[in-house]
């Protein structure tokens, strides 16, 4: 393809397709055949979902430079084939590799993909005694914003609010952050780099 946008799209698809489960269909300099395009797009989606589990539909569509109808079509095909699965999360539909995460992991990944809940989780992983006020200052948000995020995490079974905040299953959260840090952004990468400091081993 000669159009710059299409070339960028194909480069993006190729990059994520290399991470997919199926072999990448060869693409010459000329336009690929329709099913080669479909295979490449689906392989790219699988690669993207494997490295960015819990991403919602709009983010996947935008990151892969797909049209709305195009993304919906390929996601339906992949879900029907049992390659991926999706879960409704409020206003979002989040996508995961099939059979890889349990319900708690999926809820946790959904909240880790939201800026304020992710910041709250990372702050409590670094310092379990951190107060809501201190976390609000660290994240540059209001105290009610932190309270709201904490309430959502508590409703999801990921946090306990009793005389402060305490994460449930912090080791699970650390594992998810470390495994997928790059897809969460710089603050998660920084946390992952120092993750050994936050893992407590008590035989």
Residue 37: name the closest of 63, 59, 15, 14 by CA. Answer: 14
43-82 per-position pLDDT tens digit: 999 999 999 999 999 999 999 999 999 999 999 999 999 9
Topology of domain 4-100 in CATH is: Arc Repressor Mutant, subunit A (1.10.10)
Question: If you classify domain 104-198 with CATH, what class do you get?
Answer: mainly alpha
Do the domains 4-100 and 104-198 sit in the same CATH topology, yes or no? yes
Residue 136: name the closest of 165, 175, 111, 172 by CA. Answer: 165
pTM (whole model) above 0.85: no
123-160 per-position pLDDT tens digit: 999 999 999 999 999 999 999 999 999 999 999 999 99
Show me where the domains of the chain are located: 4-100, 104-198
pLDDT confidence band for 118 (50 / 70 / 90): very high
Which residues have CB under 8 Å from 161's CB, separation 6+?
150, 151, 154
């Amino acid at each position: 393809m000669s159009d710059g946008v299409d070339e960028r799209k194909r480069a993006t698809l190729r990059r994520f397709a290399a991470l997919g489960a199926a072999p990448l269909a060869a693409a010459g300099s000329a336009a690929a055949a329709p099913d080669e395009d479909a295979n490449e797009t689906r392989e790219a989606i699988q690669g993207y979902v494997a490295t960015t589990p819990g991403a919602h539909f709009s983010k996947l569509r935008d990151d892969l430079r797909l049209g709305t109808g195009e993304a919906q079509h390929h996601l339906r095909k992949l879900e029907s084939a049992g390659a991926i699965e999706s879960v409704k999360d409020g206003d979002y539909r989040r996508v995961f590799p099939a059979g890889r995460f349990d319900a708690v992991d999926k809820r946790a990944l959904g909240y880790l993909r939201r800026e304020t809940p992710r910041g709250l989780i990372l702050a409590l992983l670094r310092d379990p005694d951190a107060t809501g006020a201190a976390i609000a200052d660290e994240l540059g948000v209001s105290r009610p914003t932190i309270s709201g995020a904490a309430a959502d995490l508590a409703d999801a079974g990921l946090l306990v609010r009793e005389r402060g905040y305490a994460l449930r299953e912090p080791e699970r959260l650390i594992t998810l952050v470390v495994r997928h840090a790059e897809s969460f952004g710089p603050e998660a990468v920084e946390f992952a780099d120092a993750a050994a400091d936050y893992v407590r081993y008590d035989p």
